[in-house]
């Protein structure tokens, strides 16, 4: 096999990892997000679209948890930020410490455990708390109790419990079958119940006043957002406006296309005190 041979089972599409039947949804969530324009730069107000397929790529697989979480966060966004994107420079999120829900929370809100903005509370279940850092406004979304079938939830817990095999309640060969059966039941529920619904039908949003948030796991400084409120430059016209995808010609040196007085000033390095 040479390096150009695709190893992707479906090189022409994304059907195998982001199922085509997601098209059955009456209101499949997608999201708009905004971010800082580069590593130490101001906020870029141009939104980017994040689809379910993008979320699957980040998380690693499609699963019922990822979809339930996406419906929950869509319901929250519709209530908290109608017609506006998630500002990934200005949000704190609380989620259950689930692989699926935690990935979704971090990707869509820009919050990170290592910067103290992604916090954990397993009591949320399939739910989230989202706080706007600059204003303190806080919302919570929770899945309607009983919407996800207790039977599937019971099997989810059973196939995660090594004790059932150790204690002889479940043969290992049966467990292999049951994991596949349970996965089919999860997808059947997604198609029969979740996709025909709208996010607000089963995901309930409320404003939280005086929210008590879990402690941060770590509080590193997030440097890509510290200049988010800086105004744009008035004098210097960057060849990379409006963004890095511009048709700036290839420069010969780092300051080749920076006009004086900034060329000289930049090449002298940062100012030093005294
Ligand atoms: Zn998952």
Model pLDDT, residue 166: 84
What average pLDDT does this structure show over 227-231?
A: 95
Q: Is 86 exposed, middle or buried (0-12, 13-18, 19+ CB in 10 A)?
A: buried
Percent of the chain with pLDDT over 90: 80
CA of 236 to the centre of ligand 1 (A): 46
Residue count of the chain: 274
Least confident among 79-83, 156-160, 198-202, 235-239: 235-239
The per-residue pLDDT for range 184-224, each reduced to its tens digit, is 999 999 999 999 999 999 999 999 999 999 999 999 999 99
Question: How many other C-beta atoms can be found within 10 angstroms of the C-beta atom of residue 58?
Answer: 13
Cβ neighbors of 44 (< 8 A, separation 6 or more) are 34, 35, 36, 37, 243
More confident residue, 164 or 92: 92
What average pLDDT does this structure show over 164-187?
A: 92
CA of 59 to the centre of ligand 1 (A): 7
CA of 55 to the centre of ligand 1 (A): 10
The per-residue pLDDT for range 46-77, each reduced to its tens digit, is 999 999 999 999 999 999 999 999 999 999 99
pLDDT at 246 over 90: no
What average pLDDT does this structure show over 164-185?
A: 91
Dig out the tokens for 259 from the structure.
Answer: 């006009």
pLDDT at 32 over 80: yes
CA of 99 to the centre of ligand 1 (A): 6
pLDDT confidence band for 13 (50 / 70 / 90): low
Percent of the chain with pLDDT over 70: 95
pLDDT at 5 over 70: no
Q: How many helices (H) and strands (E) does the chain have?
A: 8, 8
CA of 243 to the centre of ligand 1 (A): 34
CA of 61 to the centre of ligand 1 (A): 6
Q: Is 207 exposed, middle or buried (0-12, 13-18, 19+ CB in 10 A)?
A: exposed
| Sequence ranges of the domains in the chain | 20-145+196-225
CA of 62 to the centre of ligand 1 (A): 6
The per-residue pLDDT for range 133-144, each reduced to its tens digit, is 999 999 999 999
pLDDT at 127 over 80: yes
pLDDT at 262 over 80: yes
CA of 98 to the centre of ligand 1 (A): 8
Least confident among 17-21, 28-32, 108-112: 17-21
Can you list the positions of beta strands (E) in the chain? 31-36, 43-50, 86-87, 91-95, 118-120, 127-132, 138-143, 203-207
pLDDT at 7 over 70: no
Domain 20-145+196-225: CATH class, spelled out: alpha beta
Least confident among 1-5, 177-181, 193-197, 203-207: 1-5
């Amino acid at each position: 096999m040479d390096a150009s041979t695709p190893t992707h089972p479906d090189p022409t599409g994304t059907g195998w990892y982001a199922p085509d039947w997601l098209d059955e949804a009456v209101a499949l969530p997608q999201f708009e997000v905004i971010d800082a324009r580069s590593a130490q730069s101001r906020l870029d107000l141009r939104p980017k679209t994040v689809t379910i397929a993008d979320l699957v790529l980040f998380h690693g697989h499609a699963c019922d948890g990822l979809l339930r979480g996406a419906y929950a966060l869509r319901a929250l966004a519709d209530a908290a930020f109608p017609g506006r994107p998630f500002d990934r420079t200005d949000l704190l999120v609380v989620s259950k410490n689930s692989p699926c829900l935690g990935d979704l929370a971090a990707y869509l809100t820009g919050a990170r455990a290592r910067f103290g903005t992604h916090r954990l509370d397993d009591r949320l279940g399939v739910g989230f708390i989202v706080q706007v850092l600059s204003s303190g406004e806080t919302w919570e979304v929770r899945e309607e109790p009983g919407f996800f079938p207790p039977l599937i939830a019971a099997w989810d817990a059973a196939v995660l419990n090594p004790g059932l095999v150790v204690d002889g309640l479940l043969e290992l060969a049966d467990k292999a079958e049951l994991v596949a059966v349970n996965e089919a039941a999860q997808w059947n529920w997604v198609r029969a119940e979740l996709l025909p619904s709208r996010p607000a039908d089963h995901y309930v949003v409320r404003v939280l006043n005086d929210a008590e948030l879990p402690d941060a796991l770590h509080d590193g400084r997030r440097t890509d957002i510290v200049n988010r409120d800086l105004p744009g430059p008035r004098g210097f016209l960057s060849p990379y406006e409006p963004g890095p995808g511009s048709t700036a010609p290839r420069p010969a040196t780092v300051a080749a296309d920076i006009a004086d007085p900034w060329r000289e000033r930049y090449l002298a390095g940062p100012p030093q005190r005294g």
